[in-house]
Structure 1
Amino acid sequence: MITNYKLSTLMDPSSSIYLLIFLILLSGFFSGSETALISLSPANVLTLIRQKKKGAKLVEKLKKNPQRLLITILIGNNLVNIAASVVATHSAEVLFRSKALSVVIGVMTFLILVFGEIVPKTLAQRFNKSISRTVSPFLYFFQLILLPIIVVLEQISHFFITLSGGKEKEKEFTEEEVKAMVDLGHKEGEIETHEKEMIKSIFEYGETTAEEIMTPEKEIEAFDEEINIKEVTHRVLKKTHSRFPVYAKNIDNITGVITLRDILNGIKTKSPSKKIKDLELHKPLIVPLSKPIYKLLKDFQKKRVQIAIVIDEFGSTVGLISVEDILEEIVGEIVDEYDREKAPVKKINSHTLIADGNATLEEIFELKRFRTKIPTHKTISFLVLEKLGRFPREGEKIKVSGVGITVEKKKGNLIQSVKITFRKAKK
């Protein structure tokens, strides 16, 4: 009654209502601040700082100690809600006596729930970046005023956590949660496409095997050990690699690995007519198809080699894999000093293209389009094989939607290049 008497002398009923509205809005301020700041990810904060947004530094400072931030907001929210309840009870007693007290309690619960919780938290979730920057100066100032009380409450919290059996654990995220966060960051423009792909490649790295990224046996540049040094020198100088497998009779019997440096040194120190088996060959690293590439990378480091020969369960050579192949799985295409950039599709004139056999339809369509039901990620070789239902002959021609596709060059069954001829526009 003393409290009510004091409030009665301090303000009239209309002032009480204005104060009540202010306190409900203040409750919404603290509730919204909590949602906005807690929903803000470290990536969001970093983006705000990089963009030099006003208030970003204060947001970062508040987020560095999430427990202290939460205690600050809870103190503010609870003080405001208690004050609102006292003012509402006083106003009800003055205006309606005790008859409508239960109605006032119900109305207050509704007002605090809607305007002090639901509406501000919904808005804060949607506009968390701008709201976080707006509220951070006020929260930081409030935190400084109440710092002694906050520190005491922090110590009490730590005491009970320790008493309950351990240290505070940092939140651990599952692989799927991290991938979801990466997708969200990419959608919001905070993570670049290449960064997203790199992060996802790191997860897939542990599951990828040699079979999935190796160079197939048909594309391996290898030499018979009976070839003389002079001949192999002419051949390697036209290649884009610096390490080559050496075999006896056939590629299933790899006897060693030779480098460009070994060959050039051999020219200086030995007779050009000597065979490459007379040079010092490096012992080949042989791995199975199922070898995980993360384990293979450790083998490369341990044995200090750059390439490995991949074999199947019968001991036959099925492919080759290099350190560069593994690194490209994570960081994307690596171009070294031996790589020659070659466009997969070349425009000869307004109606003729020359394309590599492994050029995708998407790459071809960047220069000129034609209608086909084949997915654009498939290669032009796939389209030819799909149309014919067999391996084509060199020089063989097919037509797709009036467009002529001629197999220009082949190596075995491998289509190396095709010529695509479009109908000339009628004048």
Structure 2
Amino acid sequence: MNELPLGLLFVLLGLLLLCSAFFSSSETGMLSLNRYRLKHLANEGHRGAGRARRLLDMPDRLISAILIGNNLVNIAAASLATIIAIRLMPDQQDLALGLSTILLTLVVLIFSEVTPKTLAQRHPERIAFPASFILRPLMTVLYPAIWLINLIVKGLFWLMRIGHSAESKDALSAEELKTLVNESGETLPQQRQNMLLGILELENVTVNDIMVPRNEVVGVDMEEDVDTIADQIRRTEYTRFPLYKGDLDKVIGILHIRDAAEFLYSDEPSKVMLTKAAKDPYFVPENTPLHTQLLNFQAQQLRMGLVVDEYGDIQGLVTLEDLLEEIVGEFTTDFADNKEIHPQRDGTFVIDGTANIREINRALAWELPTDGPKTLNGLILEHVEDIPDANISIKIDQYLIEILQIRDNAVIAARVREMAPVRQG
């Protein structure tokens, strides 16, 4: 080595540093690859992705090969730098060794570690896919050394009583999927993000959260006279509605408006025409998760169900449209079509006490608490813990609520304003 020209030694040192940069960038690039994008590209036939995926299926062998190569070239570079330093300063060898150590450390850190690893972290596919051409045959060449090193490592683990950890799984939990969707950024439009999050939220929401309350259910009382029933059917704005006798708990069936045509246009209409045309009522337990109920509607080929509590009393009504709105959002956001939320000129909103909190949050992009009462009236009563007087105000989180009207021990209307959140620190 001492007989080689000094210029050639510098060239060899540069090549060793390039090899060190290759191994450093390869390690970071391979480990920074997005496993799900990698799997997608491999399934699409991308050769580089396929090679990288096969390498990552053997992580212990891959890391061993990279580290063996990296350490070999770094040690060789240190030895070569020492020879160059001694030849440049033959009379001051101690100083030469110290300077070579410091300078080589700086060069390795900057050009063979920090720079290539940062580049690989920012563009892992551009580094890892080409590197897989070299790493695969390198693993074959170094297989005996890799096998021996891994055997020694396993022995050390056995001595330290470190067992095999559970293999990592590619499957993601629902919460991890939500984070993945939220972090998708511009690659996924906001509307699609909301739809995907809506699907993932179905298991955390029950039928009781979105049902139409019992007092708002529109149906036809079959104990009324024929003319009154016909007038109610003509004026209804719903496609389907329940038929009952005197009380909603005595439901007869669910009638589709098209099945009422014979009754409406008959010269001698009778209630029997409606009861024959009505479908049997379908009952839904109030605590049924939405994703379960969506599958139940699909299996039963139904679009409406009556929500019952543990005693069998009807608490409200849920439709397939209600479930779909939890996924895609409201079919309309025009306040003019919302009969419960009334915007005011001063930026506040006058909201009916019977308004569903989830619907308020969806319509106004608010975050009123939804883990307790389902209506604005229930939320106010829970916080006041008494029947309040009109014109009093309460604060719930960042929302100021002024009670406007009380009737029959319930809040009929309230004015709500969202206040700017208080900054901490």
1:372 alignment counterpart: 347
The Cα offsets for residues 380-406 of structure 1, whole Å up to 9 and x where unpaired, read as: xx9xx96771179xxxxxxxxxxxxxx
Q: Out of 200, 203, 218, which is 2:200 matched to?
A: 203
Q: Is 1:221–1:244's contact at 8 Å kept on the other side of the alignment?
A: yes
1:399 alignment counterpart: none
CA distance in 1, matches of 2:208, 2:301: 21
What amino acid is the match of 1:286? Answer: F
State yes or no: 1:85 paired with 2:81.
Answer: no
The Cα offsets for residues 55-113 of structure 1, whole Å up to 9 and x where unpaired, read as: x8635653464248656654653443243233223324434566354664455445434
2:418 alignment counterpart: none
CA distance in 1, matches of 2:196, 2:149: 36
SS in 1 for 2:269: coil
Map 1:333-372 onto structure 2 (within 5 A): 344=334, 356-358=338-340, 361=343, 370-372=345-347
2:114 alignment counterpart: 118
2:276 alignment counterpart: 279
Q: Is 1:233–1:263's contact at 8 Å kept on the other side of the alignment?
A: no
Q: Is 1:35–1:124's contact at 8 Å kept on the other side of the alignment?
A: yes
SS in 1 for 2:204: coil
Map 1:39-118 onto structure 2 (within 5 A): 39-42=32-35, 58-59=48-49, 61-63=51-53, 65-66=55-56, 67=59, 73-74=66-67, 76-96=69-89, 99=94, 100-101=96-97, 104-105=100-101, 107-118=103-114
What amino acid is the match of 1:128? Answer: H
Deviation at 1:170, TM superposition (A): 2.8
TM-score by length of 1: 0.63
Q: Out of 389, 399, 403, which is 2:404 matched to?
A: 389
State yes or no: 1:182 paired with 2:181.
Answer: yes
Query: Cα 1:343–1:115, aligned 2, differ >3 Å: closer, same or farther?
Result: closer
Q: Out of 217, 220, 224, which is 1:220 matched to?
A: 217
CA distance in 1, matches of 2:243, 2:166: 59
What amino acid is the match of 1:389? Answer: L
Give unpaired runs (5+ residues) of structure 2.
350-360, 367-375, 377-390, 392-400, 415-425
The Cα offsets for residues 102-130 of structure 1, whole Å up to 9 and x where unpaired, read as: 664455445434432233323433x326x
CA distance in 2, matches of 1:207, 1:178: 14
Query: Cα 1:184–1:263, aligned 2, differ >3 Å: closer, same or farther?
Result: same
1:149 alignment counterpart: 141
Deviation at 1:18, TM superposition (A): 4.5
Deviation at 1:168, TM superposition (A): 5.0
Provide the identity percentage: 28
CA distance in 2, matches of 1:238, 1:211: 28
2:379 alignment counterpart: none
SS in 2 for 1:38: helix
Query: Cα 1:387–1:275, aligned 2, differ >3 Å: closer, same or farther?
Result: farther
The Cα offsets for residues 314-346 of structure 1, whole Å up to 9 and x where unpaired, read as: 75533211233224323445x7xxxxxx7735x
CA distance in 2, matches of 1:166, 1:47: 27
2:31 alignment counterpart: 38
CA distance in 1, matches of 2:116, 2:235: 69
Query: Cα 1:310–1:373, aligned 2, differ >3 Å: closer, same or farther?
Result: same
Give unpaired runs (5+ residues) of structure 1.
1-6, 50-55, 336-341, 346-353, 365-369, 393-412, 416-427
SS in 2 for 1:226: coil
CA distance in 2, matches of 1:156, 1:192: 51
CA distance in 1, matches of 2:290, 2:107: 60
The alignment yields a C-alpha RMSD, in angstroms, of: 4.8
TM-score by length of 2: 0.63
Q: Out of 252, 256, 265, which is 1:255 matched to?
A: 252
2:191 alignment counterpart: 194
The Cα offsets for residues 222-249 of structure 1, whole Å up to 9 and x where unpaired, read as: 1112356776566546655433211211
1:10 alignment counterpart: 4
CA distance in 2, matches of 1:271, 1:65: 80
1:404 alignment counterpart: none
Q: Out of 120, 123, 128, which is 2:123 matched to?
A: 128
Deviation at 1:251, TM superposition (A): 2.4
Deviation at 1:48, TM superposition (A): 9.3
Q: Is 1:230–1:273's contact at 8 Å kept on the other side of the alignment?
A: no
What amino acid is the match of 2:404? Answer: G
The Cα offsets for residues 232-270 of structure 1, whole Å up to 9 and x where unpaired, read as: 566546655433211211224323222335434666999
Query: Cα 1:224–1:128, aligned 2, differ >3 Å: closer, same or farther?
Result: same
CA distance in 2, matches of 1:344, 1:391: 27
Query: Cα 1:204–1:246, aligned 2, differ >3 Å: closer, same or farther?
Result: same
1:326 alignment counterpart: 323
Deviation at 1:214, TM superposition (A): 1.2
CA distance in 1, matches of 2:214, 2:47: 56
- Number of residue pairs matched? 351
CA distance in 2, matches of 1:318, 1:331: 25
Q: Is 2:221–2:229's contact at 8 Å kept on the other side of the alignment?
A: no
Deviation at 1:208, TM superposition (A): 0.7
What amino acid is the match of 2:123? Answer: N
CA distance in 1, matches of 2:247, 2:171: 52
What amino acid is the match of 2:347? Answer: T
Query: Cα 1:191–1:371, aligned 2, differ >3 Å: closer, same or farther?
Result: same
CA distance in 2, matches of 1:315, 1:265: 33
CA distance in 2, matches of 1:223, 1:371: 41
